[in-house]
Structure formats: structure tokens, C-alpha cells
Amino acid sequence: MRVVTSVSELAMAERGSGDSAVVMTMGALHDGHVELMRAARREVGVDGTVIATIFVNPAQFAPGEDFERYPRTLEADLAACEDAGVDLVFTPTVSEVYGSPEGLPVDAVTVDPGPLGDILEGVTRKGHFRGMLTVVHKLLAMTGPDVAFFGEKDYQQLVLIGRMVRDLNMPVRIEGVPTVREADGVARSSRNRYLSSEERVIATTIPHALDTVAASLADGVEVAVAAGREVVAATAGIALDYLEVTDPELGPAPVAGPARVLIAVRIGSTRLIDNIPCRMGTA
């Protein structure tokens, strides 16, 4: 496995004869990230190249969010990448990505997420998706993959990246990978390490609420969401940000067919998101 820090090194790095796949991360890797890398390895085979990027992107953190305290565990991350079969790891500095140690210049050209960037996470995290899509666009241009893998845990992010690639006619395929969960159902997340032992127990409320909504959809969206809200309200130490049912592209919930249940909560000072697929119109 080779580790590079500059775009020039990345361009010169030797690659396999097959397709290339990229997995973009902000580090603090867990089994969810590793599954993305393994999926990438399966996709491109032994002749292809798996690239992982590790970059904590300041442009997607709103003022007051956890950019400074976001965990940085590069040595362990590189070991995880190697174990997962990654061939090439790109670990650029902020200056390498944005041309300035201050991050994204105020007059820079950026990617506008459109109306989908103003709902759900976009309500409370102003500018987050503009910063996320801009860095994803840049990293796709830098790494030049045939396919890119993203986790379904950050579902709104996945949908927006797919839209960006389609709308801007970018020559890359986007693949989503199902959320990796702990034995108690809690989604793997780098932010889980912020939770105390008591808060970690409270976090099991999240999958419980999601499952409750999905199981109640035969009674209608309003009834199902109300049932999920009751689950959260019955647990001390957790505050609900949103709990919604949408279609797979984050539009209004369909009358029948595939749908998505999405949730965001705060437990102490930590904000966590999760979602699950579901179906409407089934009794």
C-alpha cells in the first residue's frame, strides 16, 4: 500500500490494469469504512486499484461544529486501510485541497446542492452540503476513479452525490453500501466515540425508533412517525431533531413502494443521524 499527500504524487502513482474505485473518508475509521473498502476491492478485483482518501474537510463543518475535536487517528487508519486491501491512500493537507491553509476561499467556485441541500440535515447545518459536494467533486477529479463507494448511513449525502454526478455528467459510478451496525443495532459512526457509556446505551433508542416507524407504516405516515417520536420521548437524555419518511430520492413519502425513514438526534453534545429502508403500502 502506498500513501501519498499531493495531487502530483497521486497522478504519478502506479495503478493496476483494471478499473479503479475510491472510498472517501475523514479518518477515524471503523468497520463501516472498512466494509466500503472491501466492497471496492470486490468490485475492481485483483487487477484493479482501490484508493482511499483521508481528509477532514473544514468546508463541511458549520460554525460551532466539531471540526477541531473531530478524531484524527492516521496511524490506525492506515493500518485499517491496508488490512482492507487498499492499494493507494491519499492524505492531503487543507492547503493541497483548497490552495490555502485557511480552507475553501470565500470567492471559490463551489457546488450548489440545490433544494435537496436545504432539507433534513440542511436545516440545521447551513452550508454543510455545499462544502461536502465541493470536496467530493474535487477528490473525484483528483483520484479519477471509475466507481466511488459511499455508505448509506449518511443517506442524504449519498443521494446528493448521486444527483451531482448525474446532473453534471461526471464520468463515475456511485455505489451505496448498507449501513454497518453494532450488535445492538446502533449504526457505526466516528462520532460514537464522543458518547459516554451511559449515552451509548441511550443511542439504542435510535434504531428502535426507526424500526417502530417502519413497522407502523401500514397505518399511515403520520401515525408511524408519531409512534417513532413516542419512542424517543420516552427516553431521557435524547433530543429529537427530525424523524421523517421520504421516497428514496428524499421527496415526499410515496403511497406505495420503497421509502426511507431518517432520523437525527442529540445525545449530550453529540449529534447522530441514521436511516433505514422501508416500504409503503404493505399491511
- 208 catalytic? Reply is no
What does the pLDDT look like over 7-22, one tens digit per residue? 999 999 999 999 999 9
Q: pLDDT for 73-91, tens place per residue? A: 999 999 999 999 999 999 9
Identify the burial level of 68 via C-beta atoms within 10 angstroms of its C-beta, where 0-12 means exposed, 13-18 middle and 19 or more buried.
Answer: exposed
3-state helix, strand, coil in the chain (%, to 5): 40, 20, 35
pLDDT tens string 190-203: 999 999 999 999 99
Name residue 33's amino acid.
H
**Cβ atoms 160, 132 nearer than 8 A:** yes
Q: What is the pLDDT of residues 133-178, one digit of tens each?
A: 999 999 999 999 999 999 999 999 999 999 999 999 999 999 999 9
Catalytic-labelled residue, pool 33, 128, 137, 208: 33
- Structural domains in the chain plus CATH codes: 2-177 (3.40.50.620), 190-276 (3.30.1300.10)
